[in-house]
Copies of this chain bind each other. A is one copy, B any other.
Amino acid sequence: MVLEHAILVSLLEKPGSGYELARRFERSIGYFWTATHQQIYRVLKRMEGDGWIDAHEVAQQARPDKKEYSVTALGRSALSGWLHEPIAPESVRHELAVKIRGAAFDDPAALIREVERYRQEHADRLARYLAGERRDFTGPEAPAPPDAGQELQHVVLRGGIAYERMTLAWLDDVLDTLHRLGPQG
């Protein structure tokens, strides 16, 4: 399971509670793997049972206590083993593409507004990625020279940026195509 290993990576970068992990999955880690808090808590239980991580209670001032997890030697070697396994071929899942082909049996022009909304979501995501890149890697606050971990985080983020730029360009192509097929096309 990939999620377990994504959690190991996140906890190695910095130990934290289930709640904190859930928030990291809304940003940072969430740029390339998503998970909800329900799923995270369940998997943390299993990982603790397997001895990959251990928890210790942390009392906090003016906040509920939390369980802070950190990776054990066993967890570290489980991650290492997984890293050496071949990468599973990705299964393609692109809902919008299904809708575009479906539009041939409906009104293509009706999709335009929805594609525009969808495009805006990706434009926002790109803006967030670029802001993160400036903050952590290319801005004046960024550490120079970066260490290996930072180089790797940066190349992953560059992948996200490249993906969003490609998506925006393609959505423009889609909108152009839908317009050409429109009422007077």
Interface residue ranges, A against B (CB under 8 Å):
2, 5-6, 8-9, 12-13, 30-34, 76, 79-80, 82-84, 86-106, 108, 110-111, 114, 117-118, 121, 148-149, 151-156, 158-159, 162-163, 165-166, 169-170, 173-174, 177, 180-181
6 A-B pairs with the lowest CB-CB distances in the bound complex, closest first: A32-B97, A104-B149, A166-B166, A32-B94, A34-B91, A155-B177
Q: Oligomeric state, in number of copies? A: 2
Main secondary structure of the interface of A (DSSP, over half): helix
Q: Say how far A159's CB is from chain B's closest CB, in angstroms.
A: 5
A162 to B171, CA, bound (A): 11
B155 near A87 with CB under 8 A, answer no
**Which B residues touch A89, using CB under 8 A?**
121
A166 near B177 with CB under 8 A, answer no
Given A83-B106, A87-B118, A152-B177: A92 and B32 interface contact (C-beta under 8 Å): yes
Q: For residue A96, which residue of chain B has the nearest CB?
A: B87
Given A83-B103, A98-B2, A117-B86: A173 and B149 interface contact (C-beta under 8 Å): no
